[in-house]
């Protein structure tokens, strides 16, 4: 079956997908054999999940590590948050407060998270994208299709996946 437009054929084995889906530690996917300086780091967060402590923990880790990576490389740091409709519009002020970033470094856009994240990463020419994935176990861990996997299929740059 051909890949959907804008999506790359998966280069991961079933074992690599399993690692990404079940790991409790960040997994770094290095896409470039050409080592270059990091100039733009993009952190993808989801602050709309108000009732889920796991999302808050994941957002905090992604933002904290993203800031440290940006500081280490003297790179610019950006944050993106996708939302599905106007009823789920994220609180930009909250994103700015928890990230410590000015408004021009915080991007919120309606749409499919994988498309929004990959599109914004390309727009700002990000070198590395940090994304979250909820660790899955049992039968759920065998199924492909979570947002982080969709993002990976749309990006050809380094990604750090947190669970």
pLDDT digits (tens, 9 = 90+) for 91-138: 889 999 999 999 999 999 999 999 999 999 999 999 999 998 765 444
Q: What is the pLDDT of residue 2?
A: 37
Q: Which domains does the chain have, with CATH numbers?
A: 14-162 (3.40.50.12370)
Residue 148 tokens, joined: 């982080």
pTM summary value:
0.81
In 10 A of CB 124, how many CB atoms? 16
Place of tokens 């990463």: 121
Which region holds residue 111: left if phi is over 0, alpha if psi is between -120 and 50, else beta?
left
pLDDT tens profile 52-77: 777 888 899 999 999 999 999 999 99
End-to-end CA distance of the chain: 30
Distance CA 34, CA 36 (A): 6
pLDDT tens profile 10-58: 566 667 777 777 777 787 777 766 667 789 999 999 888 655 777 888 8
């Amino acid at each position: 079956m051909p890949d959907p437009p804008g999506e790359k054929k998966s280069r991961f084995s079933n074992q690599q997908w399993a690692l990404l889906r079940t790991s409790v530690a960040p997994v770094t996917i290095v896409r470039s054999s050409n080592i270059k300086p990091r100039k733009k780091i993009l952190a993808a967060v989801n602050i709309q999940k108000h009732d889920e402590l796991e999302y808050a923990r994941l957002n905090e880790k992604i933002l904290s590590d993203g800031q440290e990576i940006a500081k280490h490389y003297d790179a610019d740091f950006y944050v993106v948050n996708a939302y599905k409709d106007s009823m789920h519009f994220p609180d930009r002020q909250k994103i700015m407060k928890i990230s410590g970033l000015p408004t021009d470094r915080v991007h919120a856009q309606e749409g499919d998270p994988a498309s929004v994240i990959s599109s914004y990463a390309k727009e700002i020419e990000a070198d590395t994208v940090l994304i979250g994935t909820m660790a899955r176990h049992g039968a759920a861990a065998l199924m492909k299709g979570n947002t982080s996997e969709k993002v990976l299929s749309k990006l050809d740059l380094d990604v750090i996946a947190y669970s």
